[in-house]
Amino acid sequence: MTTADAALLVDPQANQTEPIKTIQINECKITLLGTAHVSKASADKVQELIATGQYDAVAVELCPSRHRAIVNPDAMAKMDLFQVIKKGQASMVAASLALGAFQQRMAEQFGIEPGAEMRVAIKDAQAAKLPVLLIDREIGTTMKRIYRNIPWWRRMNLFAGLIASVISKEKFSEAEIEKMKEGDVLESSFSQFAENEKDLFLPLISERDEYMSARLIKESQENNYRHILAIVGAGHLNGMARQLETQQIAAPDERIAQLDRIPPSSRWLKLIPWLIVALILTGFAIGFMRSPELGTAMVLDWVLINGGLSAIGAAIAFAHPLSILTAFLAAPLTSLNPTIGAGMVVAAVETYLRKPQVGDFNQLRSDTTTLKGWWRNRVTRILLIFILSTLGSAIGTYVAGFRIFEQLSTG
């Protein structure tokens, strides 16, 4: 495809409130409708355009998991918490729930479900027997790329911001409302607690502009569509139009694969846990070589500090007494084996002792909007137990480590 193959057309239906751009790519027209995820007018516009019968496919700014959440809202009730924890996805699920809580606050203030225009698009496209194309990147991939795009010392700010977004009871200001009307629900969510974190916006906006453009090109090439209606947040419209107009994406499959790739973590970050283990074990060995009493005192300090802080983390999350005991016993051992974390063991025990009920899953949406709800709901409490016991063990490792080498230097 060449630049000459693509031309921006003036759409007679374009208006000031719901921006529309139509781009010709070879034999296919792609109409981009910029929507606001908190606007009833956007949902109405989607319904109006699909009703014209001009389109043979409808593309939406959704990934498969977000699409499943819309068409099957009870899917969360089928979540296997043990597998989530085992696969190391507990923090990601907790972050997703926190974002969902933020969006629920939006729904309560505006009186419209965020993403209502997407629901209308799916429903009306199916009624018109039109294929629904899911063009957005998986939210988990986007969040992981955001996480890897910022230095490790700033990741705590991100985590703290997610917590703040859950417990905040403030109404959205007029300026924030106007920003949301620009149109990307994920950007709106993150921008509330990461205003100065510019590194977030490369994977959050720019990459997704390119990803969704590549998906549209791929669909037009493979399925010979004549006219695709693409419903995206207004914040994506100009970026996607620029990608499509200038034909910067020559090989869509290759670019999609690149943007789906999770950047590997730094090698030295992977080596740090093993280095700490080596130092701790070396400290024990030196201590016992000097005297059995010193070695024993060092081991006791390690158990009491590491196990104690992990148990405190579990207790803060209101874990079962046996789960708290498990944290105390497991943390000193798991800290010497970087392949397994204390949080994984403690959360697994809590899941066995207090298995979440159907009602806990059904109440997730409302419970996650309050700090009290995170502790009351068994699902979110297990996630908190995993996070806080892991955090306690991590702090305990460093505190106990410094204590051991302090004893060696003074012994």
Max intra-chain CA distance, the chain:
87
The predicted pLDDT at position 132 comes to 96
- Give the separation between CA 231 and CA 133, rounded to whole angstroms: 10
Highest mean pLDDT among 15-24, 176-185, 246-255, 365-374: 246-255
The predicted pLDDT at position 65 comes to 82
Tell me the mean pLDDT in the region 22-40.
86
The predicted pLDDT at position 7 comes to 39
- Region of residue 32 (left: phi > 0; alpha: psi -120 to 50; beta: else): beta
- Give the separation between CA 248 and CA 259, rounded to whole angstroms: 15
- Region of residue 370 (left: phi > 0; alpha: psi -120 to 50; beta: else): beta
pLDDT band at 16 (very low <50, low <70, confident <90, very high): very low
Q: How far is CA 328 from CA 138, 310, 312, 316, in A?
A: 37, 6, 9, 14
Q: Which two tokens stand for residue 359?
A: 């009602």
The predicted pLDDT at position 12 comes to 39
Poorest-pLDDT segment among 35-44, 91-100, 195-204: 195-204
Tell me the mean pLDDT in the region 365-379.
83
pLDDT per residue as tens digits for the range 269-304: 678 888 889 999 999 999 999 999 999 999 999 999
pLDDT per residue as tens digits for the range 233-258: 888 888 899 999 887 788 999 999 99
DSSP string, 332-365: HHHTT-TTS-HHHHHHHHHHHHSPPPHHHHHTHH
CA atoms within 13 Å, Cβ hemisphere of 395: 12
Of 173, 170, 204, 171, nearest to 187 (Cα)? Answer: 204
Inter-residue contact 325 to 312 (CB < 8 Å): no
Pick the more confident residue, 365 or 195.
Answer: 365
The predicted pLDDT at position 383 comes to 87
pTM of the model: 0.72
The predicted pLDDT at position 157 comes to 66
